Amino acid sequence: MPSHYVDIHPHVISDDERAYPPAPLFGKRSDWSQERPSTVESLIAAMDEAGVAKAAVVHSSTTYGFDNSYVVDACTRYPERLLAVGSVDVLQLDAPDVIRDWVAKGLGGLRLFTGGSTKEFDASELDDPKSFPAWDVCGELGLSMCIQTGPVGLPQVTALARRFPDVAIILDHLGRPDVTDGPPYAAAQSLFDLAPIENIYLKLTPRIMGDSKKGAATPETLFPRLVEAFGARRMAWGSNFPTSPGTLSEILATAKSRLATLSSDDLEWIFHGTAQHLYPSLAE
């Protein structure tokens, strides 16, 4: 088993709506953020119980829109354990200044949310030239960028990765590939086509852990295939806690079980090494 664990995809929701009022992106708040809210104190307790050393906490766009106040405030309270990953409207003219301002307040990474639990994916904004100055700032400041999209957005992800090779791009949930056809996973070819682009990284979350046992897919064939294509150094575990059902301990146990056929070196990278490369402060 790995020497320690770093989670790059938990969320936090404040229990004080007066201090941190919800203002969800696209005007619709996610069900999970209301049914399974988790304050930063709850997250730290869950991490302690699960044995997770550190985490890159992802801003909840479906709760707070582009207001990163809670994730930044929460993570700066636990600087030795947590790093804030926030969202900015990269299509706005002032996006570069807004990014710099949030970084000055403690933001350590960015995320583009193009759809998911509250709307269909819209990949049109991903490679809109109006967003390019924001990407330039990410490269300048060394900020990794998560992208929440589906297979429909992978051509845009490809274009961005090639235009901005100095920015590490992390695909949330692997870009939600269809793996139910089983090996050689031809239905997910658009994902595997990204393997030669070295600044694209994969985030392994409960979604792919569940899909690895659907249809003809098996963990024993899927995850070695992903490692063969991308290398474990470009793959990192994220819990999606509390969006995904279950305790953090249960989510981590499932991930360890699904990835059990991988080598110990691969597991070290997936469970902490890659995370610390993408977010260097988590290695300190």
Q: What is the predicted pLDDT for the residue at 115?
A: 52
Burial 84-105 (b: 16+ CB within 10 A, else e): bbbbbebeeeebbebbeebbee
Task: Give the total residue count for the chain.
Answer: 284
pTM: 0.94
Nearest to 143 by CA among 205, 232, 83: 83
pLDDT tens profile 120-174: 556 777 888 999 999 999 999 999 999 989 898 999 999 999 999 999 999 999 9
Per domain, the residue ranges of the chain are: 6-283
pLDDT tens profile 10-27: 999 999 999 999 988 777
pLDDT tens profile 169-200: 999 999 999 999 999 999 999 999 999 999 99
What's the fold here for domain 6-283? TIM Barrel (3.20.20)
